């Protein structure tokens, strides 16, 4: 049984109000119910759906942290998903869950009144890492998983938007500041149940840069050049892999930007996302 609660979102002076359906259960695994929130525009929904993946160093955060309300107001349907955090289950559980959410959305699109023929995945920080990894591993036998009841559906992603995400867990520690190491070392210990040098094969499996192929979806990257937690070189590495296989990649450097903040989701950056989606 799916628990759905309808709420209202502020939406300008026109009086039109999008709806937010909260705590929709998309799967259950190991006794843990996995849920998502669905944001639907008031009218004239654009084709496709954006799947939002929250950050929190893989060990925290919540689907409630969804900063793209401006896109909902412009007609985009957004599903903000929770996934098993690293204290609950180590990698690759997080990717298995996100792919299960995409399959659920495709299976139930008519029930909830949206179009999931095209899926854009977006996320910030650890969510940006998971979004990119999900996007470049369509059909990967180790990362698809068997979570959920919609295994006949595709988890394919048609575009990726990563805000200050990680892309290479085998290099992130060597690129990090002392402050960054204080965050990343314990976070990776939980995610991988060890450090990257101790588990090199798992670290590679968890790194989007090692999965990029000629068929992968277009990519939009945002990263601050003063990020103390996720070095900007992480996005440069992913950009480089995309360019090596001639796949579309747009990289927006947020000058003086650190690790998150309102400047990443202001009207200027959301307009960049809109143009990227319209073009792709």
Task: Please state, in angstroms and rounded to a whole number, the distance separating the CA atoms of residues 208 and 167.
Answer: 5
Based on its alpha-carbon atoms, the radius of gyration of the chain, rounded to whole angstroms, reads 18
Task: Please state, in angstroms and rounded to a whole number, the distance separating the CA atoms of residues 226 and 258.
Answer: 5
Please state the rounded mean pLDDT for residues 164-187: 95
Domain encompassing residue 214: 5-279
Virtual torsion, Cα 129, 134, 136, 138, nearest 10 deg:
170
What is the pLDDT, as a whole number, of residue 43? 82
What is the pLDDT, as a whole number, of residue 179? 86
pLDDT averaged over every residue in the chain: 93
CA proximity to 94, closest of 41, 32, 4, 172? 32
The H helix count followed by the E strand count for the chain is 9, 9
For the cut 70, the answer to whether the pLDDT of residue 6 exceeds it is no
Number of structural domains (the chain) is: 1
At 101 the three-state DSSP class reads helix
pLDDT in tens, 56-89: 999 999 999 999 999 999 999 999 999 999 999 9
For the cut 90, the answer to whether the pLDDT of residue 150 exceeds it is yes
Q: pLDDT band for 166, please (50, 70, 90 cuts).
A: very high
Q: pLDDT band for 16, please (50, 70, 90 cuts).
A: low
Q: pLDDT band for 10, please (50, 70, 90 cuts).
A: very low
Give the CATH number for residue 16: 3.40.50.1820
Q: pLDDT band for 139, please (50, 70, 90 cuts).
A: very high
Virtual torsion, Cα 254, 279, 110, 97, nearest 10 deg:
-40
């Amino acid at each position: 049984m799916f628990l759905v609660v309808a709420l209202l979102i502020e939406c300008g002076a026109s009086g039109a109000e999008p709806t937010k359906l909260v705590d929709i259960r998309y799967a259950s695994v190991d006794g843990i119910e996995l849920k998502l929130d669905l944001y639907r525009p008031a009218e004239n929904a654009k084709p496709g759906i954006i799947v939002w993946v929250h950050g929190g160093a893989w060990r925290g955060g919540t689907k409630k942290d969804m900063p793209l309300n401006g896109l909902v107001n412009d007609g985009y349907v957004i599903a903000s998903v929770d996934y098993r955090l690293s204290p609950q289950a180590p990698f690759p559980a997080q990717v298995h869950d996100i792919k299960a959410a995409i399959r659920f959305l495709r299976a139930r699109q008519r029930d909830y009144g949206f179009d999931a023929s095209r899926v854009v995945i977006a996320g910030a920080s650890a969510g940006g890492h998971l979004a990119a990894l999900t996007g470049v591993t369509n059909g990967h036998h180790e990362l698809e998983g068997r979570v959920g009841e919609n295994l006949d559906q595709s988890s394919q992603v048609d575009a990726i938007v990563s805000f200050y995400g990680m892309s290479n867990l085998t290099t992130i520690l060597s690129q990090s500041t002392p402050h960054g190491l204080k965050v990343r070392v314990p976070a990776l210990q939980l995610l991988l149940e060890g450090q990257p040098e101790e588990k090199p094969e798992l670290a590679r499996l968890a790194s989007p840069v090692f999965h990029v192929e000629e068929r992968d979806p277009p990519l939009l990257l945002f990263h601050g050049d003063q990020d103390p937690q996720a070095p900007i070189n992480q996005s440069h590495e992913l950009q480089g892999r995309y360019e090596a296989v001639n796949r579309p990649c747009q990289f927006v450097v947020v000058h003086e930007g650190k690790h998150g903040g309102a400047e990443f989701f202001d009207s200027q950056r959301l307009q960049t996302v809109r143009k990227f989606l319209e073009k792709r």
